């Protein structure tokens, strides 16, 4: 019973994170926060499911390491864009030249 409630709550968090990821096109930071919500909910669902199976340590820790690397990469991209262009608006990405 508790396990199903936790999975449903993590699914609601994932839907909210996907909504934030899709709908906020003004700032890069809002998109990255929505992506982190999705990763947090997937981590929660994995930990709930893996503790029931008994394979909790290896897969969950590997996913947590990958989520932390993804967060660090997103923040470094955000800092790089803000330093080079002064803001994180998606409207200014049209004028970016590589």
Lowest mean pLDDT across 3-7, 24-28, 71-75, 84-88: 24-28
Mean per-residue pLDDT of the chain: 82
pLDDT band at 50 (very low <50, low <70, confident <90, very high): confident
Report d(CA 13, CA 65) in Å as an integer. Answer: 20
Give this prediction's pTM. Answer: 0.76
Q: What domain count does the chain have?
A: 1
**Structural domain boundaries enclosing 56:** 2-95
Lowest mean pLDDT across 23-27, 31-35, 67-71: 23-27
Q: Enumerate long-range contacts of 14-21, CB under 8 Å, 24 or more apart.
A: 14/38, 14/41, 14/42, 14/45, 17/41
Q: What is the CATH number of the domain that holds 84?
A: 1.10.287.3510
């Amino acid at each position: 019973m508790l396990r199903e409630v936790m999975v449903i709550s993590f699914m609601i968090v994932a839907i909210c994170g996907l909504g934030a990821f899709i709908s906020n096109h003004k700032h890069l930071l809002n998109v990255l926060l929505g992506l982190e919500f999705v990763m947090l909910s997937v981590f929660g669902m994995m930990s709930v499911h893996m503790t029931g199976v008994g394979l909790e340590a290896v897969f969950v820790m590997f996913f947590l390491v990958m989520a932390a690397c993804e967060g660090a990469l997103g923040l470094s991209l955000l800092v790089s864009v803000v330093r080079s262009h002064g803001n994180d608006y998606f409207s200014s990405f049209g004028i970016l030249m590589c």
